[in-house]
Amino acid sequence: MHTLGALVMWIGLILLLVGGLMFLLSAFGESILWGLGVLFVPFVSLAFLILHWRRAKDSFFLQLYGVGLVVLGVLAFKVHLPLVGG
C-alpha cells in the first residue's frame, strides 16, 4: 500500500507541475506582460484566472486534481512528502 500511495502522490506532483506550466504558457499566450506578471508579481495569477477564465480553467483544474492526489497520497496512504535538501 505504501508504494501505491507514493505513486498517487508523485502523479499528483506531476499534474501540479504540468498544470502550472500550462497556466504560465496561457498567460504568456495572452501577452508578455500577463506572463511576466504571473511569473513575478503576487496575486496577478489570481487576477489572470478570474479575467481569463476560459483560457486558464483547464490548467487550474489540472492543478486542483494534482493537489487532490497529493492530499490523498499523504493522508490516506500515510506517505511523506519528499524533503528537498534533507
pLDDT digits (tens, 9 = 90+) for 16-63: 999 999 999 999 999 999 999 999 999 999 999 999 999 999 999 999
Q: Sorting pLDDT into bands at 50, 70 and 90, what band is 78?
A: confident
Q: Quick check: 81 pLDDT over 70? A: no
* Residues of the domain holding 57: 2-75
State yes or no: pLDDT of 73 exceeds 70: yes
pLDDT greater than 60 at residue 86 = no
CA atoms of 34 and 47, how far apart (whole Å): 10
CA dihedral for 79, 72, 55, 47, sign (positive or negative): negative
Are the CB atoms for 38 and 24 separated by under 8 Å?
yes
The answer to whether residue 84 sits within a structural domain is no
* 85: confidence class by pLDDT, cuts 50, 70, 90: low
Q: What is the pLDDT of residue 2?
A: 75
Cβ-Cβ contacts under 8 Å for 18 (sequence gap 6 or more) = 62, 66
Answer yes or no: is 80 within a domain: no
Residue 22 lies in a domain: yes
Within a domain: 45: yes
3-state secondary structure of 29: helix
CA–CA dist 67, 65 (Å, integer) = 5
| Better-scored residue on pLDDT, 27 or 1 | 27
Please name the residue that has the C-alpha cell 508523485. 10
